[in-house]
Structure 1
Amino acid sequence: MIRRTNSFDTLKIGTLCSLLLAGTAWADAQSDYAEHCASCHGENRLGGVGPALIPETLKRMRGPRVASVIAEGRTATQMPAFSHELDALQIEELAGWLKSPLETDPEWGETDIMASRTLDEDYTPVDAPAWDSDPMNITLAVETGDHHVSVLDGDTFEVLDRFETPFAVHGGPKFSPDGRYVFIMSRDGWVQKYDIWALKQVGRIRAGLNSRNIAMSGDGKWVAVANYLPNSLTLLSTKDLSVAKVIDIKSKKGVPSRVSAVYQAPPRESFVLALKDVPEIWEVFYGDNPPQFGLGHDFRIEGQFKNPNSFPVRKITTPDYLDDFFFDQSYEYVMGASRDGKGGQVIDLVIGQKVADLDLPGMPHLGSGITWRRGDTTVMATPHLTDGTVSVIDMETWETVKRIKTEGPGFFMRSHENSPYVWADVFFGPNKDAMHVIDKQSLEIVKTLRPAPGKTVAHVEFTKDGRHALVSIWEDDGAVIVYDAQTLEEVRRLPMRKPSGKYNVWNKITFSEGTSH
């Protein structure tokens, strides 16, 4: 943690508030930004060498934290300290201005996106992997402490490479169907293509200004980027990172909306979008043959099939806002929930309407939901962001089978078809150092692991065969812990800089049971 200097502590809050309310404070802050910050972060605060400095990208950093970074810099990055160039009041004013909204919504269309694209001149494709590991058992570990990814051999856990990513990776990397390439997205819209065989970056492009996540098409030809700012969906060619299409997100009534998330639905040859601001879900098709649709229900298709790069859009009205999704195994049904709601709903994509309600209080995190066979049925389980509960739902009846009481709200769940257990973290609250291991059949917690007392322990990924489970100590001086997935004994610790998600190639490209899709 960065400590604030005494000059910050002695600053009178009343005086500061008065100054911040005055127009001169903003004017002075803008002048200081132009002199000290614009060369890295862009004249319009939308990013350059450094990340965008706008409320959408700074929302997790409170004002004092922003001020501390300005004053003292950020270790292991190119962000310098400015406490010698700016006094305490100037820094507070600048931090306040950076947290203020932009005067106008910026545009970021196809021309801007393509102008940002860079392809690495020293990258040369290879005919075979430059290493001897099993290419299907490679695992990527995202290290948010210094914005890198470690490439791990899933058998030996040797680090094959450690490469730099864009600032603040978000939403989970996506692999090409053959597992060779991975696409990684940052909060400020940069998409990076990396060749795992060659252990080389291929290139980068900025697909949006504030983005949520990416999805890979089932045929591996397209990457869809969900954007908050601007309100758009950007479709990129995976071959060369060129723009295939930018779709403005407006409801049937013309109301703009942010895109909360985008997911692929491989059997339907489509992307499905969760919208933040309108009660609709969208389906964007990339294939030539549209799936069957029901008749007489409230949806609209805009665009033409079999028209190259048309990407026709289907807009489905929903009874409530849905900004988090989970699919059944057939990809016919979407289980959705609103971050502000007290439950969920099931939408049938064939007929385009709600067919069931879900009893899911406590803000379910459906994006981390998983499924497995329990007896003669399939169940789905999800953690909750505001309730210490894991909900288990029967995928045939949509009824809640059980609510498993945990030691606090969780964020991630994982399992594997070869494991008898589900792993669920306790990401929020005083028991953030706990990791629950739950029996798939009895739905009882069989063990609670505490590998780093007092520290955040979160996110599990399995190796290809399910023999090992990898757990993050989500701290700057953290580690990835390798567990024997059967005995639950620790095997090894790999020191890392605030490791967050881990992603195994085989589990992700095969949609392995127990993996969030």
Structure 2
Amino acid sequence: MLVSISAAFLGVAPAQDLRATGDLGVVVERATGSLLIIDQSEHAAIGRVEGLGDLSHASVVFSADERFAFVFGRDGGLTKVDLLTQSIDGRVVQSGNAIGGAISDDGQLVAVSNYEPGGVRVFDAETLESVADIPTGSKTIGLVDAPGRRFVFTLWDAGETWIADFSGEEPAITRIGGIGRNPYDALITGDGRRYIAGLFGEDGLTALDLWQDPPVPQRILSGYGKGEEALPVYKMPHLEGWALAGERFVLPAVGRHEVLWVDSRTLAEAGRTATHGQPVFAVARPDGRQVWVNFAHPLNDTIEVIDTLTPGPAVLHMEFTARGHEVWVSVRDAGRVDIYDARSFEKLGEIAAENPSGIFFTARAHRTGL
């Protein structure tokens, strides 16, 4: 016997009202404290959520089901945004000055890295209730998620990296010294094994093998600018958008017009490429065949695909679709997001946005460290 049950009876919205989350993303509108919700297939903005505070250095992570975006604002605000209802699901101002965050591998905890008063605070991802407060006595940077319900972060003032393990009843903290002077950002590899901190106070980076117990700092690319006059740093490069092209990392050099190539197995320098300006993000196409690089002021109108495009003034961020067929580019001073075919470089479309900066697609929900 065939029984027909209406969608209304089940409390399910009609099909025309349903929308999947895997095709969605967000664009940070920094000047207006808003979030533009975008649809990849439609090449269109489908909504805007306002009231998110100071988004001048905002970043975003996603819940495991891709429905919720957790937005970390510079004013210390942590905002949970529902992409389907296009509304704020919760918001807490948890510090005076924040610099990003991460979500645990099980999707249950959200951590926020703070400049003022420093330290890391951890919240329940569903309710945004406080779970832990980890004071450090320092600005914290480079906060990432690591396998095993762990968070890893580094201290600007103390030159230490801390690992906070939330797999037990109480968080366990491991402190690792000897990272170097003024670490400014860090990355974790997609397998969760290597954590690499960039150093502002000296030429070089420091790597940790998180499979070691305890991890031992390993200095890499020491003195890469030795003997050459340092240039003014107009914008600190970002390591979170790190590139892995084949078996090589591609990392932006601080205060230099070049990117650095590092063998991912030995962590030895494997080469350098001169660039158009001081690189900010170096991002690999998902197949690893190309690396796309954008630059600091005053040369921030250009992207190099180690090949060159000139989209417009103040290119701040790039995001590839999950399989790498398109790249979306925020062009802040032109007030738009440009969409390119990642192979032919053909411009496919554009979306108007208010001073756009970061672009984040929901596929990040399933990638370590993003």
Residue aligning to 2:139: 258
The structural deviation recorded for 1:499 is: 0.7
Give 2:158's aligned residue. Answer: 278
Q: Equivalent residue of 1:366, what SS?
A: coil
**Higher strand fraction: Structure 1 or Structure 2?**
2
Corresponding position: 1:435 with 2:303: yes
Equivalent positions of 1:347-426 (< 5 A) are 347-349=208-210, 350=212, 351-359=214-222, 360-361=224-225, 365-373=238-246, 378-418=247-287, 420-426=289-295
CA distance in 1, matches of 2:56, 2:124: 20
Amino acid at match of 2:102: A
Aligned residue for 1:367, secondary structure, equals coil
Matched, 1:449 2:305: no
Which amino acid letter does the alignment assign opposite residue 49 of structure 2?
A: F
- Aligned-pair CA distance for 1:133: 4.7
SS of the residue 1:509 aligns to: helix
TM normalised by structure 1 equals: 0.63
1:498 paired residue among 342, 351, 355: 355
Amino acid of the structure 2 residue aligned with 1:465: R
The aligned residue for residue 139 of structure 1 is 25
| Higher RCO structure (Cα 8 Å, ≥6 apart) | 2
Q: 1:138 to 1:335 in 2, by over 3 A?
A: same
What amino acid is aligned across from residue 155 of structure 2 in structure 1? L
- The 2-side partners of 1:203 and 1:326 are apart by 28
Q: Which stretch shifts more, 234-243 or 256-265?
A: 256-265
Q: Which amino acid aligns with 2:202?
A: G
Q: Distance in 1 between matches of 2:175 and 2:150?
A: 13
Could you tell me which residue of structure 1 aligns to residue 316 of structure 2? 458
Q: CA, structure 1 residues 364+211, in 2 after alignment: closer, same or farther (shift >3 Å)?
A: closer
Structure 1 residues 459-498: aligned runs within 5 Å: 459-475=317-333, 477-498=334-355
**TM-aligned CA distance change 1:179 to 1:319, over 3 Å:** closer
Q: Check whether the contact 1:346–1:358 (CA below 8 A) recurs between aligned residues.
A: no
Distance of 1:354 and 1:130 partners within structure 2: 54
Q: Alpha-carbon deviation of 1:337? A: 2.2
Structure 2, gaps ≥5 residues long: 1-10, 231-235
Q: Render the CA deviation track for 1:216-273: whole Å, top value 9, x for unaligned.
A: 1111111111111112211111111111121221xxxxxx2121231111x2320001
Q: Provide the residue aligned with 1:315 in structure 2.
A: 175
Q: What is the DSSP-based 3-state SS (H/G/I as helix, E as strand, rest coil) of the residue aligned with 1:141?
A: strand
Q: 2:100 aligns with which of 186, 203, 213?
A: 213
What's the % identity of the aligned pairs?
A: 24
Residue 123 of structure 2 is aligned to residue 240 of structure 1? no
Shift of 1:388: 1.0
| Structure of higher CA gyration radius | 1
- Counterparts of 1:490 and 1:273 in 2: how far apart (Å)? 38
1:163 paired with 2:52, answer no
Deviations 1:447-470 (A, max 9, x none): 211122xx1123111123322111
Matched, 1:226 2:113: yes
Gaps of 5+ in 1: 1-125, 250-255, 288-305, 438-444
Q: CA deviation at 1:281?
A: 0.7
Structure 2 CA distance, aligned partners of 1:395 and 1:324?
A: 18
1:319–1:420 CA distance, 2 compared to 1 (3 A): closer
TM-score normalised by L of structure 2? 0.87
User: Using the alignment, how far apart are the partners of 2:339 and 2:237 within structure 1?
Assistant: 28
Find the counterpart in structure 2 of residue 339 from structure 1. 200
CA deviation vs aligned residue, 1:112-158 (integer Å, no higher than 9, x gap)? xxxxxxxxxxxxxx977985554212121111132211111110122
Superposed CA deviations along residues 166-189 of structure 1, whole A, max 9, x for unmatched, are 222534101011111111011110
Question: 1:337, 1:364 within 8 Å by CA — same for their partners in 2?
Answer: no
Q: Which has the higher helix share?
A: 1
Shift of 1:417: 2.2
Task: Check 1:231–1:157 CA distance in 2 against 1; reply closer, same or farther (3 A cut).
Answer: same
The alpha-carbon deviation at position 384 of structure 1 amounts to 2.9
Aligned residues: 345
User: Hey, what's the Cα distance between the residues in 2 that align with 1:208 and 1:143?
Assistant: 21
Please say if 1:154 is aligned against 2:17: no
Q: Is the 8 A contact 2:26 2:35 kept in 1?
A: yes
1:292-307 aligned within 5 A: 306-307=168-169
